[in-house]
Amino acid sequence: MIRFLQTEGPFKKIVLSGLLLLICAAMVIAFIPGNLGNDLMGTPGKGVVAKVDGEDITADEVRETARGMLQQQGAQLGANASILLPFFAQRAADQLVDRQALVAEAQHLGLKATPQEIKDELQHGQYSEIFFPGGTFIGEAEYEGLLQQHNLTPAMFEDSVGKGILITKLQALITGSASVSDAAIRQEFDKQNTKVKFEYAVLKQDDIKKGLHPTTEELKAFYDTHQKNYANSIPEKRKVKYAMIDLAKIQNGVQITHDDLQPYYNSHRDQYRVAEQAKVSHILIKTPLPGPDGKVDEKAAAEAQRRAEDLLKQLKAGAKFEDLARKYSEDPGSAKEGGSLGWIGKGRTVPEFEKAAFSQPIGQVGGLVKSSYGFHIIRVDARQDAHMKTLDEVKDQIEPILKQQKAQEIAQKQAEDLLQAAIKQGLDAAAAAKGVPVVTSDFFSRKDIVPGLGPAPQFMDAVFTAAEKSPPQMAATSQGFAVFDLLAVKPQSTPTFDEIRTRVEEEFKNERSNILLSQKTAELSDRAKADHDLKKAAKELGATLKTSEFVSPDGQVPDIGSMTGQAAVAFSMKPGDISGAINSGANGVVIAVTDVQAPSEADFAAKRDQIRDSLLQGKEQELFQLFVTNLREQMEKSGKIKINQDEMKTLTRAGSESGI
């Protein structure tokens, strides 16, 4: 319990859907492995993935952590999420083992996390907005309730926070000796900020391909020597007949009553809480940013204040706020709306602006508000206290969800009934009795889209794992549920030359033109270097000669692309130097540097600290990586980390998604 954290203040309930992810992130801090332990007793038993210095890492912990990782990336992974679960399980297990190892090493070195440090982390660290919104503790009951939703007790959670503090202390101890020399800072600055200008000759692979006209004999020889690329390249195909239970049709007939809405609303109240908001309009007059020396142009800042004060006087004299905002505000997004920012909640704006927005009288224009952006003239148009939306307000949001749920249940039940009937009397008869049409497909591969079904990965999985002459089966699709019979299977096969001549010719041209491009680009470089004349060599070999602008190391150049690739050699060349052959995708390039522009000392002074911090951070990470890698090796050699390979195989094998 953390009663010592309680402070006086209103009782507020904060429920964040991302809490689980936040807790998972804390419990699986992404540091790399390491540990020296004391006692390690026995081999991990069933349900235990690893023992680390005598502490168990359980399969349940790995599963929970893997789910958290998957949720964090679910939006990007989409339909592939379940396929990648075994991979996440492996990562989760590694990170849990690593974390426990680091904690054990920190304890071995005598490091501690005090109750006060844990309190400070909860109140001022990454959890502050959850447990201390606005600086006020949410209350003991609310705190326990939030943790309980994710099967955590306060003691478990606070122990995890304490372990995170130990790991942070250990990392600081290990990386404290890292340093960066002035010479290294200067070298990195020059590398990042030197600009070059150059001529470059370009040879295009497409131009070479156009001149290739292979004979049938050449193509057949290519086909024969690349047989392994074509072996079984025609995928397995299957043919089915199926009857579809259409989810959309069922959903159209579903009726939702008040008795359906109320329970859902009651169990999801936290989704309908609305925080305190203010509807605000403003006029912004920007102040100048600091220059390279870190100083602000005081004269320009004073002029900005004078302009803002003049606008405020006009408003006090009766000028229309919207007109002045459209004409003078330097916030382009709101200026075109007459200064309106719409409704904003707390935490959305800089502190100075927020204070005025939530304290200024409604309908009145306040005095100038200075922020890091400049001078604001603020008018509060309306304010709304924190409240719970009523059922009537959210009815239209809930109804589609409940319709979908009900339709899903009905469709699944109808499909299951159809399946049982099809097993007994055949699909055609069963579907006819229920008035559902039967569709017979053409042969299709696993990657095809069956007409009428759309993307249907579960259906495809079921079809391509079904055995020939097996009874009817059921599978979900994007449109509902399909009950199907597998009619025939065409095994994967190797195409004849005549069947894939077009593909063979394209691949022949690609391979041959790529070889010729490399040879011709190398010849271009050799000729240019021999004569010290890129222009002459380009003309002789039919290359296109171009000239760049001054370009930085992170820049882009037409026909070359990013200068971070092979073309980065230009930044180590002197005027007059000619490069070797550069492969730039479908182009071959040779560069002749014409000018080098060194960065200024003022620029170095402005960026010096930033570069030092970046280099230092990299050195610290490298140092800690080396330290923990060595510790992990020592620990594994001494038997202080023991992995239960059987449990790991169960968690990480393909097809184990349901276990995760």
As given in the structure block, the two tokens for residue 618 are 């990299």
As given in the structure block, the two tokens for residue 492 are 């994967």
For 16-46, how does the pLDDT look when each residue is reduced to its tens digit (9 = 90+)?
333 334 344 444 333 333 333 333 345 677 8
Per-residue model confidence (pLDDT) at position 144? 85
For 261-317, how does the pLDDT look when each residue is reduced to its tens digit (9 = 90+)?
999 888 888 888 888 899 999 999 999 877 666 677 889 889 999 999 999 999 999
At 283, give phi and psi (nearest 5°): -120, 125
Strands (E), 209-364: 237-246, 273-274, 277-286, 340-345
Write the DSSP assignment of 25-39 as a string of letters. Answer: HHHT--PPP----S-
Q: How does DSSP classify residue 137?
A: -
H or E segment and range at residue 475: strand 473-477
Per-residue model confidence (pLDDT) at position 34? 33
Length, in residues, of the chain: 660
Per-residue model confidence (pLDDT) at position 77? 52
Per-residue model confidence (pLDDT) at position 350? 85
Distance of CA 267 to the CA centre of its chain: 31
What burial letters (b/e) apply to 615-643, b meaning 16+ CB within 10 Å? Answer: bbeebbeebbeebbeebbeebeeeebbbb
For 417-439, how does the pLDDT look when each residue is reduced to its tens digit (9 = 90+)?
999 999 999 999 999 999 999 99
Per-residue model confidence (pLDDT) at position 31? 36
Give SS3 for 87: helix
Per-residue model confidence (pLDDT) at position 25? 40
pLDDT at 244 over 60: yes
User: Which residues make Cβ contacts (< 8 Å) with residue 419, sequence separation at least 6?
Assistant: 472, 473, 474, 483
Beta-strand pair 273-274/387-388:
antiparallel
Farthest CA pair distance, the chain = 91
Are the beta carbons of 594 and 577 closer than 8 angstroms?
Answer: no
Whole-Å CA distances, 308 to 354, 467, 542, 550? 19, 78, 62, 40
Per-residue model confidence (pLDDT) at position 180? 92
Bridge-partner residues for 377, per DSSP? 283
Per-residue model confidence (pLDDT) at position 598? 92
Beta-strand pair 544-547/473-477:
unpaired
Write the DSSP assignment of 575-623 as a string of letters. Answer: TT-B---EEETTEEEEEEEEEEEPPPHHHHHHHHHHHHHHHHHHHHHHH
Per-residue model confidence (pLDDT) at position 654? 52
Strands (E), 287-385: 340-345, 369-370, 374-384
Distance in angstroms (rounded) separating the CA atoms of residues 208 and 588: 11
Write down all domains in the chain, each with its CATH number in brackets.
3-177+620-652 (1.10.4030), 195-231+500-597 (no CATH), 237-250+405-490 (3.10.50), 276-385 (3.10.50.40)
Distance in angstroms (rounded) separating the CA atoms of residues 88 and 652: 8
pLDDT band, residue 339 (cuts 50/70/90): very high
For 221-242, how does the pLDDT look when each residue is reduced to its tens digit (9 = 90+)?
999 999 999 999 999 999 999 9
- In the chain, the amino acid numbered 383 is R
Residue carrying the six token digits 């912004």: 284
Per-residue model confidence (pLDDT) at position 630? 84
Q: How does DSSP classify residue 558?
A: T
Query: In the predicted model, what is the mean pLDDT of the chain?
Result: 87
Helical H runs in 317-452? 321-328, 332-335, 351-357, 391-425, 427-433
Q: What is the pTM of this model?
A: 0.53
Whole-Å CA distances, 628 to 1, 201, 297? 33, 48, 48
pLDDT at 184 over 80: yes
Distance in angstroms (rounded) separating the CA atoms of residues 400 and 419: 28
At 419, give phi and psi (nearest 5°): -60, -45
Give SS3 for 501: helix
Distance in angstroms (rounded) separating the CA atoms of residues 28 and 110: 22
Per-residue model confidence (pLDDT) at position 19? 39
As given in the structure block, the two tokens for residue 518 are 């490399």
H or E segment and range at residue 481: strand 480-490
